[in-house]
């Protein structure tokens, strides 16, 4: 475990260096957050009857989404890994006495964690003091908050085990852009990043619930706002664990297969 912890540590240290990028990120996230809430506010006004998710819950959902963007966004790409495949510097990683899967996994967790640490605090703090309906509200009770933390962390693992598949596909496509474009367009929509899932038509919701993507974004944020009750949250956690086991098994299998026929690019 020590090597993986070490690479995790160094990647966090590395990630914490990019302060200006984080600052710019925070500003962007505020703009997006306000924009989304305003759009939904307009929709809600023009619509009589009750929605599956209240505007206050939706505002909370969107602020969490903006604050934890770096944590859960599927298109977030760790360029070092993709470059190591396309440029061939993966050669060095293959000379280390560790499994590549675990090595990359640790790097990816650290990458997302360091980015989030730099970005989430200002967004969360300010969003707490905004006027209603823009305010980020507190979770209904401590248990909900605990469930939120668990689903959020498991959600991170789901995202990373999913994105590992995208990194592995680079061995075949040799193009990180292509791999991630397909992956993120599909993933982002089905995870509830573009449109919160309760606002989708029922037939689409049925599809979304079958896929693993929603376990990353939709589940933790709706657990926080109380839109998903405790029982469903616990079922959600179990589903997360099952998906994580499946995704990691598939990823490890594919990576082993790829490494057998790996070609180190560029001489």
Partner 1 sequence: MIKIEGLSKTFKVARRSSGLGEAVRSFFSPKYSEVNALRDVSFSIDEGEIVGYIGPNGAGKSTTIKVMSGILVPDSGDCNIMGYVPWRDRVQYVKNIGVVFGQRSQLWWDVPIVDSFELLRDIYRVPEDNYRKNLNMLTETLNLSEIINTPARQLSLGQRMRCELAASLIHDPKILFLDEPTIGLDAISKIAVRNFIKTINKENNVTVILTTHDMNDIETLANRIIMIGKGQILYDGNLNKLRDKFVTHKTVTIDYNENASPIELNGAALLSWSKDRATYAVDIKQRGVSDVISELSAKLEIIDVAVDSEPIEEIIIKLYKEHQV
Provide the binding-site residues for partner 1, judged by CB under 8 A. 2-3, 5-7, 10, 13-14, 17, 87-89, 91-92, 94-99, 260-264, 266-267
- Closest approach, Cβ 106 to partner 1, in A, equals 11
Cα four-point dihedral sign 2, 5, 10, 11 = positive
Query: 120-147 burial, b for 16+ CB within 10 Å, e for fewer?
Result: bebbeeebeeeeeebbbbebeeeebeeb
Nearer to partner 1, 13 or 195 (CB): 13
Residue 152 near residue 67, CB atoms below 8 Å:
no
Nearer to partner 1, 138 or 264 (CB): 264
Q: Distance between CA atoms of 221 and 214, rounded to whole angstroms?
A: 10
- Closest approach, Cβ 4 to partner 1, in A, equals 9
Nearer to partner 1, 107 or 119 (CB): 107
Q: Distance between CA atoms of 176 and 87, rounded to whole angstroms?
A: 11
Nearer to partner 1, 96 or 229 (CB): 96
- Closest approach, Cβ 68 to partner 1, in A, equals 24
Quick one: tokens of 179? 């791999």
Q: Distance between CA atoms of 70 and 37, rounded to whole angstroms?
A: 19
- Closest approach, Cβ 10 to partner 1, in A, equals 5
Minimal CA–CA distance to 111: which of 18, 219, 243, 187?
18
Nearer to partner 1, 43 or 92 (CB): 92
- Closest approach, Cβ 183 to partner 1, in A, equals 23
Q: Distance between CA atoms of 3 and 7, rounded to whole angstroms?
A: 6
Residue 227, CA distances (Å) to 98, 132, 219, 231 in order: 42, 18, 9, 12
- Closest approach, Cβ 259 to partner 1, in A, equals 8
Nearer to partner 1, 13 or 235 (CB): 13
- Closest approach, Cβ 205 to partner 1, in A, equals 39
Greatest alpha-carbon pair distance for the chain in Å reads 65
Nearer to partner 1, 7 or 228 (CB): 7
Q: Distance between CA atoms of 95 and 91, rounded to whole angstroms?
A: 7
């Amino acid at each position: 475990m020590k090597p993986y912890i070490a690479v995790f540590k160094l990647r966090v240290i590395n990630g914490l260096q990019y302060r200006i990028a984080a600052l710019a990120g925070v500003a962007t996230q505020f703009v997006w957050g306000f924009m989304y809430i305003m759009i939904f506010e307009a929709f809600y006004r023009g619509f009589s009857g009750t929605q599956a998710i209240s505007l206050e819950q939706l505002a909370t959902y969107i602020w969490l989404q903006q604050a934890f963007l770096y944590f859960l966004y599927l298109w977030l790409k760790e360029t070092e890994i993709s470059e190591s495949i396309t440029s061939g510097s993966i050669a060095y990683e293959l000379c280390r006495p560790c499994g590549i899967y675990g090595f990359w996994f640790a790097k990816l967790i650290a990458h997302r964690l360091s980015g989030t640490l730099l970005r989430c605090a200002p967004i969360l703090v300010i969003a707490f003091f905004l006027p209603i309906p823009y305010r980020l509200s507190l979770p209904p009770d401590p248990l909900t908050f605990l469930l939120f933390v668990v689903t959020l962390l498991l959600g991170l693992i789901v995202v990373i085990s999913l994105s590992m598949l995208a990194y592995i596909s680079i061995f075949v496509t040799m193009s990180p852009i292509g791999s991630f474009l397909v992956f993120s367009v599909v993933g982002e929509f089905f995870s509830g990043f573009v449109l919160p899932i309760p606002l989708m038509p029922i037939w689409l919701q049925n599809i979304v619930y079958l896929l693993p993507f929603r376990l990353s974004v939709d589940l933790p944020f709706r657990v926080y706002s109380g839109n998903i009750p405790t029982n469903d949250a616990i079922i959600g956690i179990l589903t997360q664990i099952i998906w994580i086991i499946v995704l990691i098994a598939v990823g490890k299998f594919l990576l082993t297969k790829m490494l057998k026929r790996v070609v180190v690019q560029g001489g």
